[in-house]
């Protein structure tokens, strides 16, 4: 049974009868035997706390920084839009939407290899290489002379950023399920902090650098926000470990062994081989599609908000300079929402209910944006939307990582969570083309929020049904046959694996 203390060997959210039975038996024999040892071993609580503290100190800040710079590279287009980009390049609203769209198209195209090849390429090399590439391309945006060149550059930046979107998957190598949502929230909250930071940088640049050296402010935005990730990519390259077995500094031997056992308990294997047939088999499960519906709704709302937020706020009647500044308030609300709901999810382990409750504010906020025209009320509604929409990604991705196990199966699901939703995110960039109130876009986002709410409730009850079905068939011939297979072969279909609700 699971221990109530997350510092002990078993983790509370994982509900299965025999932990060792769920680990790979056909790959790393030493890892499997270590897992069997861990089944009965009592860990020194001080050692467990020290390891978790060190992981939070060494791994978490590096991954959070990667996501921070990635989000800056994604959302800087919105800040540049009202800093002279559209006027100087002669972009129509449709041209700008297309520039935002091609970024997402590239992310979709490169998402699956960008996630599944993490262990092959090695995370430090992959993440650092991606940062170096998109940083260079972002800085080169200052040379764009027309909309066509901007589209080409944004496509290449999106392709590079696809290779860091598996960062939450990388966190699953290190953290147990009861710790996962909170750490994922810290990384994901970088999207809101980066958005706020973008707003502050853009505010300062528009105020002080617009026209300097003969450049409009938008060129300075891209130059500055391209140089910084280039510099930080070398920090990631030399300091980020590839996985629990590759830790080379900062941990004692006892701590390293404890990290490996922690990884095994979260159904991780050191084997980087990708099972191609497992990539597509995941799409045969109904709960995969329910997760996708939640993810697609969230991607639509988040993408449209990040790409159009400065313009939306300017449409309330604020000046362009103040609109840049006010985006920081909205992103701060989103950051608080991510940390607030993720912490509740880890503490209560009620993943489905927390996810559903988090979307209620989005439904209310979008309704207000559609039917109310008072400037201050609309700004408050935008803050409420951010508070409710931004937690969606980390809540559903971490819940899915607990629900789909095995390296290829889990990695494929997280990749698909960035592929299918990005198709909806593309439609989100196309829906917001009727300024200043963006009635069509907000109405569509309201529908997506309702879809998220209903799908998350349905998912929670469907997983409960699957657990009930497994319990009823625990001693059947099929269950006995399935127990002879490894977690890599059958994943969460193992009869002794029960879904977290």
Residue 463 near residue 501 (C-beta atoms within 8 A):
yes
Separation CA 69–CA 198 (nearest Å): 10
What is the pLDDT at residue 267? Answer: 66
Interior angle at CA 50, CA 46 and CA 56, nearest 5: 150
Per-position b or e across 244-273, b if 16+ CB within 10 A of its CB: beebeeebeeebbbbbbbbbbbbbbbbbbe
Express each pLDDT in 164-173 by its tens digit: 988 888 888 8
pLDDT at 299 over 60: yes
Q: Is the dihedral of CA 13, 15, 21, 22 positive or negative?
A: negative
The pLDDT of residue 6 is: 32
Residue 360 burial (CB count, 10 A): 14
Sign of CA pseudo-dihedral 469, 474, 480, 485: positive
Residue 211 has pLDDT above 90, yes or no: no
Give the model's confidence band at 157: pLDDT under 50 very low, under 70 low, under 90 confident, else very high: very high
CB contact burial 205-227 (16+ within 10 A = b; e otherwise): bbeebbeeeebbbbbbbbbbbbe
The residue with greater pLDDT, 322 or 115, is: 115
Lowest-confidence segment of 158-172, 196-210, 449-463 by average pLDDT: 196-210
pLDDT at 359 over 70: yes
Kindly state the tokens that stand for 348.
């209560």
Between 298 and 104, where is the model more confident?
298
CA-CA distance, 455 to 475, in Å (whole number)? Answer: 32
Whether the CB-CB separation of 442 and 369 falls below 8 Å is answered with yes
Structure tokens belonging to residue 313: 């706020």
The 10s digit of each residue's pLDDT in 15-32 is 344 434 444 443 343 333
Residue 220 has pLDDT above 90, yes or no: yes
Residue-wise over 275-309: b if at least 16 C-beta within 10 A, else e?
A: beebbebbeebebbebbbbbbbbbbbbbbbbbbbb
Q: Is the dihedral of CA 73, 79, 84, 87 positive or negative?
A: positive
The reported pLDDT for the residue numbered 222 is 93
pLDDT digits (tens, 9 = 90+) for 240-287: 988 888 777 778 888 888 888 887 776 665 555 667 777 888 899 999
Q: Specify the pLDDT at position 20.
A: 41
User: What DSSP state is assigned to residue 374?
Assistant: -
pLDDT tens for 53-105 read 998 888 899 999 999 999 888 878 888 888 889 889 998 888 888 888 899 88
Mean pLDDT, the chain, integer:
83
């Amino acid at each position: 049974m699971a221990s109530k203390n997350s510092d002990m060997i078993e983790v509370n959210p994982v509900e299965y009868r025999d932990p060792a039975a769920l680990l790979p038996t056909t790959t790393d024999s030493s890892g499997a035997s270590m897992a069997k040892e861990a089944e009965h071993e009592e860990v020194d609580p001080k050692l467990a706390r020290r390891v978790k503290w060190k992981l939070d100190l060494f791994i978490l800040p590096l991954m959070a920084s990667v996501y921070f710079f990635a989000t800056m590279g994604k959302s800087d287009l919105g800040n540049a839009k009202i800093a002279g980009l559209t006027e100087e390049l002669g972009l129509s609203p449709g041209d700008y939407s297309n520039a935002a769209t091609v970024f997402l198209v590239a992310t979709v195209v490169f998402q699956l290899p960008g996630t599944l090849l993490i262990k092959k390429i090695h995370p430090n090399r992959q993440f650092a290489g991606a940062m170096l590439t998109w940083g260079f391309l972002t800085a080169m945006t200052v040379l764009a002379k027309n909309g066509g060149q901007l589209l080409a550059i944004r496509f290449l930046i999106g392709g590079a950023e696809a290779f860091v979107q598996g960062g939450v998957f990388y966190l699953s190598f290190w953290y147990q399920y009861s710790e996962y949502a909170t750490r994922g929230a810290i990384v994901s909250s970088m999207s809101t902090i980066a958005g706020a930071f973008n707003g502050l940088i853009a505010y300062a640049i528009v105020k002080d650098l617009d026209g300097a050296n003969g450049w409009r402010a938008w060129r300075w935005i891209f130059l500055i926000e391209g140089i910084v990730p280039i510099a930080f990519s070398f920090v990631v390259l030399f300091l980020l470990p590839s996985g629990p077995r590759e830790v080379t500094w900062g941990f004692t031997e006892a701590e390293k062994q404890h990290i490996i056992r922690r990884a095994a308990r979260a159904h991780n294997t050191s084997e980087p081989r990708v099972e191609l047939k497992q990539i597509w088999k995941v799409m045969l499960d109904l709960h995969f599609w329910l997760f996708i519906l939640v993810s697609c709704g969230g991607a639509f709302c988040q993408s449209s908000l990040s790409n159009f937020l400065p313009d939306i706020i300017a449409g309330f009647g604020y000046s362009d300079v103040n609109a840049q500044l006010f985006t920081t308030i909205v992103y701060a609300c989103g950051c608080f929402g991510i940390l607030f709901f993720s912490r509740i999810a880890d503490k209560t382990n009620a993943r489905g209910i927390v996810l559903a409750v988090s979307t209620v504010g989005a439904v209310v906020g979008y309704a207000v944006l559609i039917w109310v025209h008072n400037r201050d009320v609309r700004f408050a509604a935008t803050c409420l939307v951010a508070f409710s929409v931004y937690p969606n990604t980390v809540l559903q991705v971490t819940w899915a990582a607990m629900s789909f196990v095995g390296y290829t199966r889990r990695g494929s699901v997280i990749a698909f969570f960035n592929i299918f939703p990005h198709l909806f995110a593309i439609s989100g960039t196309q829906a917001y083309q009727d300024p200043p109130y963006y009635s069509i876009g907000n109405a569509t986002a309201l529908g997506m929020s309702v879809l998220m709410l209903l799908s998350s409730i349905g998912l929670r009850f469907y997983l409960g049904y699957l657990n009930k079905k497994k319990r009823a068939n625990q001693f059947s011939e099929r269950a006995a046959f399935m127990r002879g297979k490894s977690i890599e072969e059958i994943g969460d279909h193992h009869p002794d694996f029960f879904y977290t609700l």
